[in-house]
Amino acid sequence: MRYRYNELSLRQVAEGYSSNSTNLIIACIDKAVVRNFFRDWKWINIGLVVSEALYKLPKEQRKKMVVDIVRNAIEKVHEDNIVLENIDILFFPEYSLDVVKTLQMVGKNKRLLVIWDGHCKNGVLTYSKPDYPDFHKYKIKDYGVYCITK
């Protein structure tokens, strides 16, 4: 489902009043707006976490370890509400990830809000541009996630 944000709706999500049954909310809005309403949530720079961990691994092991690294980063947080930022590394073509499914799976015991550097329009969530190798497109109805848009 796609929701246009307003101050009340973001405040309700941030305070846990939302009635949604999904653990994953995707925010296709400005990071500063998210920070304003979700400052009490635990923030994880997933790009930094993943890149630091992968750097220590041999190149041939990196692809199979990305999901575990993200899962471990989320599991070691004691809070239930987490904002993930800088997720671009998850779209690298060599990792062949279904990013939405991966985030749902690794965060199943948490409530995740993901800052998404892409668009959600007509029920389709996109990342990057169609002619780029990291382009991804998702029909949000297939995932049962919520998207917050402008």
Residue 24 and residue 109: Cα distance in Å, rounded?
10
Give mean pLDDT, residues 83-110.
Answer: 95
Alpha-carbon distance values, 25 to 22, 56, 62 (Å): 7, 31, 27
Give mean pLDDT, residues 52-76.
Answer: 96
- Which of 2-6, 10-14, 121-125, 143-147 has the weakest average pLDDT? 2-6
Domain ranges of the chain: 2-143
User: Which pLDDT score is estimated for 41?
Assistant: 94
Q: How confident is the model at residue 15 (pLDDT cuts 50, 70, 90)?
A: low
Q: How confident is the model at residue 19 (pLDDT cuts 50, 70, 90)?
A: very low
Q: Which two tokens stand for residue 124?
A: 């389709």
> Residue 114 pLDDT > 90, yes or no?
yes
- Single pTM value for the model: 0.88
Residue 11 and residue 24: Cα distance in Å, rounded?
16
User: Which pLDDT score is estimated for 148?
Assistant: 87
Other CB atoms within a 10 A radius of the CB of residue 19 amount to 5
